[in-house]
Amino acid sequence: QDVLHSISYASDLKVIVERIGGTANSIASGNEGDRITLEGQLTDFDNTYARLGVGGNIAGLNVVPAQSELQPAYEKVGEAWIP
């Protein structure tokens, strides 16, 4: 069950990134009020990504850490995400 939660939250990262892109475009179009939304989306990504790396609990559901064979891919995401 915990593995399924991990897979689900890993999939959620893609959705979060798509939302971030949409919100960034909105801000670029002049909707400054969306900056607060963007901050929340960035926090959601950071928290979910971090928890998937070490395992633990997200919103009351247990997740397992990324398996060792997935660590290189996991780390590439982290490297790409850091400004």
pLDDT of 7-65, one tens digit each? 899 999 999 999 999 999 999 999 999 999 999 999 999 999 999 999 999 999 999 99
d(CA 36, CA 59): 21
Q: Determine the pLDDT at residue 42.
A: 96
**For the packed helices 35-54 and 71-81, what is the interaxial angle rounded to 10 degrees?**
160
pTM: 0.84
Residue 77: pLDDT above 90?
no
Residue 81, helix vs strand vs coil: helix
Model confidence at 83: pLDDT above 70: no
Going from the C-alpha of 6 to that of each of 25, 26, 38, 70, 79, the distances in angstroms are 29, 30, 24, 13, 20
C-alpha span between 49 and 40 (Å, rounded): 14
Which has the higher per-residue pLDDT, 83 or 36? 36
